[in-house]
C-alpha cells in the first residue's frame, strides 16, 4: 500500500482544520468572510480550468470528461435534495438553522471527498496526484469556513471542530486505498473518476462558496475578489 491515502487524509484535514480556524477568527465579521470565500473560489477556478481539467482531458479525452461531469453534477444535486429533507430540532429555531446547515454541509463535503480520494490513490506517484492534493487542501479551506461558521455560531467548540475535520478527511483516505487498486492501467477510468471529483468541486465552488460570498456582499465585489484569486493561480503556474 502506498502513501496516497495518508497524504490525502492530511491534505484534507489540514485544509478543513485551517478553514475552521478562520471561521473561529472571522465569526461575525461578514465582510471579511465574504472576501475569503470569493478569493478561495477564484483560486479554485484557476486550479480547475488552468491545470486540472486540461490534465484530465490529456489523460482520457473529452468523453470521460463529459460523463464525469454528468455523474458529478447528478451526485451533487441528489445530495442537496437529501439535505433539504433532514430536520434538526434543538429547541432554538435560530440554532436549529445553524446546526442543520453545518451538519448537512459536512455530509455534502464528506461525500464529494470520496471520489477525490479514489482519483488521488489511482494516480499515486504521478504529478496529477500531487496537484489533486494541492487542490484538495485549497478547496477544503473555504469549505471548512462554511461548515464551522454556523456550528460555532450555534455554540459548538473544539471537540466539534476535531470530529468534523476527521469525518471530512476520512473518506479521502478510504477512497485513496480503493483508488490504489485501480492504478494507472486504465487512463480513461482514472480520468472519469477525476472528472467526477472535479465536477463536484466546481459545483461546490459555485453554489456553496461563491454564492455564500455574494450573499454576504455583492456579485460585483465577489467577482472582483474572485478574479484576483484566479489571477494569483495564473501567475503561480506562469512562474513554474
The 10s digit of each residue's pLDDT in 120-137 is 887 776 666 677 788 788
Distance CA 116, CA 59 (A): 16
Q: Determine the structural domain holding residue 205 and report its residue range.
A: 4-239
Q: Which of 39-43, 107-111, 197-201, 219-223 has the lowest mean pLDDT?
A: 107-111
More confident residue, 83 or 119: 119
Query: What's 132-147 look like in SS3?
Result: HHHHHHHHHHHHHHHH
CB 113 within 8 A of CB 173: no
The pLDDT value given to residue 67:
93
pLDDT for 92 equals: 63
Using the predicted structure, report yes or no on whether residue 10 has a pLDDT greater than 80. Answer: yes
The model's confidence at residue 193, banded by pLDDT at 50, 70 and 90, is confident
Contact 147, 21 (CB under 8 A): no
As a whole number of Å, the CA-based R_g of the chain is 17
Count: domains in the chain: 1
- pLDDT for 231 beyond 90: yes
Q: SS3 for 28? A: coil
Give me the pLDDT at residue 127, please.
65
Closest C-alpha among 65, 64, 178, 77 to residue 119: 178
Q: Within 10 Å of residue 97's Cβ, how many Cβ atoms?
A: 15
pLDDT score recorded for residue 170: 93
82-86 contacts, C-beta under 8 A, 24 or more apart: 83/107, 83/108
Query: Measured between alpha carbons, how far is 34 from 17 in angstroms, rounded to an integer?
Result: 19
* Range with the poorest average pLDDT among 3-7, 12-16, 23-27: 23-27
The whole-angstrom separation of Cα 179 and Cα 152 is 34
- 230 in the Ramachandran plot: left (φ > 0), alpha (ψ -120 to 50) or beta? alpha
All three cell numbers of 205, joined, read: 465552488
pLDDT value at position 222? 93
Distance CA 101, CA 103 (A): 6
The DSSP result for 165-217, as a single string, is HHHHHHHHHHHHHHHHHHTTS-HHHHHHHHHHHHHHHHHHIIIIIIHHHHHHS
Indicate the helix (H) or strand (E) that contains 129.
Answer: helix 127-153
Distance in angstroms (rounded) separating the CA atoms of residues 67 and 166 = 30
pLDDT at residue number 118: 81
Which pTM does this prediction carry? 0.67
pLDDT tens-digit series, residues 206-229? 887 788 789 878 999 999 999 998
User: Of 21-30, 80-89, 106-115, which gets the smallest average pLDDT?
Assistant: 80-89
| Per-residue pLDDT band at 13 (split at 50, 70, 90) | very high
Note the pLDDT tens digit of each residue in 46-97.
878 987 788 788 878 899 889 989 998 898 888 777 766 665 555 666 566 6
Pick from 7, 31, 38: nearest CA to 141: 38
- DSSP, res 125: T
Amino acid at each position: 500500500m502506498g502513501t496516497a491515502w495518508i497524504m490525502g487524509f492530511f491534505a484534507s484535514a489540514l485544509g478543513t482544520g485551517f478553514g475552521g480556524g478562520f471561521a473561529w477568527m472571522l465569526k461575525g465579521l461578514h465582510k471579511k468572510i465574504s472576501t475569503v470565500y470569493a478569493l478561495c473560489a477564484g483560486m479554485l477556478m484557476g486550479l480547475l480550468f488552468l491545470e486540472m481539467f486540461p490534465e484530465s482531458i490529456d489523460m482520457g479525452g473529452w468523453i470521460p470528461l463529459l460523463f464525469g461531469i454528468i455523474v458529478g453534477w447528478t451526485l451533487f444535486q441528489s445530495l442537496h435534495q437529501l439535505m433539504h429533507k433532514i430536520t434538526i430540532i434543538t429547541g432554538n429555531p435560530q440554532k436549529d438553522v445553524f446546526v442543520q446547515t453545518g451538519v448537512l454541509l459536512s455530509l455534502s463535503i464528506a461525500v464529494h471527498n470520496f471520489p477525490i480520494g479514489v482519483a488521488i490513490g489511482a494516480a499515486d506517484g504521478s504529478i496529477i496526484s500531487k496537484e489533486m492534493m494541492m487542490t484538495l487542501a485549497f478547496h477544503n479551506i473555504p469549505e471548512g469556513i462554511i461548515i464551522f461558521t454556523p456550528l460555532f455560531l450555534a455554540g459548538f467548540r473544539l471537540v466539534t471542530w476535531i470530529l468534523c475535520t476527521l469525518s471530512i478527511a476520512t473518506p479521502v483516505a478510504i477512497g485513496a486505498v480503493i483508488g490504489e487498486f485501480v492504478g494507472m492501467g486504465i487512463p480513461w477510468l482514472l480520468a472519469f473518476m477525476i472528472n467526477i471529483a472535479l465536477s463536484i468541486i466546481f459545483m461546490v465552488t459555485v453554489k456553496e462558496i461563491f454564492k455564500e460570498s455574494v450573499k454576504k456582499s455583492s456579485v460585483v465585489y465577489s467577482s472582483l475578489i474572485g478574479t484576483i484569486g484566479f489571477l494569483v493561480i495564473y501567475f503561480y503556474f506562469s512562474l513554474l
